[in-house]
Amino acid sequence: MNTKTNLTPESWQYRDLNERTPSLSVMADTLIELADQGYPIAAGTADLQHSNGLVKFANAYPDRFVQFGISEQNMVSAAAGMATTGMIPYVATFASFLGLLTCEQIRMDVAYCAQPVRLIGHHTGISMGFYGTSHHATEDISTMRAIADLTVVSPADGAQFRQLLLESANYPEPIYFRIGRGHEPAVYSENEQFQLGKAKVHGMGSDITIIACGMAVHGAKEAVAELNKIGYSAGLIDMHTIKPLDEAAVLEAVNHSRIILTVEEHNILGGLGSAVAEIMAENPGKARLKRHGIMDEYALISPPQRLYQHYKLDGLGVREIAEALL
């Protein structure tokens, strides 16, 4: 067998699913914190307790943790059942399975029945890199956004995810969180405050305002800094809650900027860009819109960093897209 590979040493850092930094590492810690405070937290996963770090919660609260095995649909239905007993269940697995494979169970057992289940899709977007198309999740925002009474949240980093997790303990509706693989660079400090349904506005630009979510926020923030350095007026909105969308923030940007650029690690159809386009279509302003992300195709198979560069989702790539528009 030919075992040669053309992967560079840099790319090998993405091989081990058990490497956990920011977003994944805060999940168990935050759930333990909530449980310690008296919230009736329960947690479950589909054979990924080591990959997503929930083994730590399992050790702290073994009677509140369920390892469902590779049975994602049963996990979601069981979580809905737990919620009917007064528990607040948080269930986590790969976003490619949670946001697509379990769509029917999320729709019927969770959202339709108005159960406060927190669905955490991790390793989202193209962060699984060379694990292939079956493990890429570039359609989950679109799928989840179309389900009535389901909140959709895409945190930028671990600090933001932690704050939104804490807030979710008192949130009345079911939530779908989409988070990365744990290698996302930090955007916020641990003391930053966020609110579900309220965008984090980093300023409006008279030339261009970028609206981003998830891992794309870091690249967009870098791009905005560089654009301002070379004389443009650029702003940034972190739209961490995609549904319900902060319409007021979008309309403020539309009335302030010449160009709105949405950036997301997702198919441009049905995701953040589409949500913003819907608002702009019903509230015409002076701005024109450009959606940037995966251009309605199955993502290539490659190490994540190479994919982010290829799809221009890093700082340099977002800046190039913005400059071309300007």
pLDDT tens-digit map of 125-180: 999 898 889 999 999 999 999 999 999 999 999 999 999 999 999 999 999 999 99
For domain 200-325, give the CATH number. 3.40.50.920
Q: Where are the domains of the chain?
A: 17-178, 200-325
According to DSSP, residue 101 is labeled I
pLDDT at residue 33 above 80? yes
Taking the C-alpha atoms of residue 52 and residue 17, their distance in angstroms, rounded to an integer, is: 8
Architecture in CATH of 17-178: 3-Layer(aba) Sandwich (3.40)
Q: What's the pLDDT score for residue 22?
A: 59
Q: Pairing relation of β-strands 288-294 and 259-267?
A: parallel
CA angle 19, 42, 144 (to 5 degrees): 75
Taking the C-alpha atoms of residue 245 and residue 242, their distance in angstroms, rounded to an integer, is: 5
Over the chain, what is the mean pLDDT?
92
Radius of gyration (C-alpha) of the chain in whole angstroms = 19
* Residue 72 among the catalytic residues: yes
Confidence of residue 25 (pLDDT cuts 50, 70, 90): confident
Taking the C-alpha atoms of residue 43 and residue 31, their distance in angstroms, rounded to an integer, is: 8
The two structure tokens encoding residue 124: 């989202």
DSSP state letters, 16-44: -TT---HHHHHHHHHHHHHHHTT--EEEE
pTM comes to 0.91
In terms of phi and psi (left: phi > 0; alpha: psi -120 to 50; beta: otherwise), the region of 179 is beta
Contact 186, 22 (CB under 8 A): yes
Comparing 17-178 with 200-325, is the CATH topology the same?
Answer: yes
Catalytic residue among 19, 33, 72, 282: 72
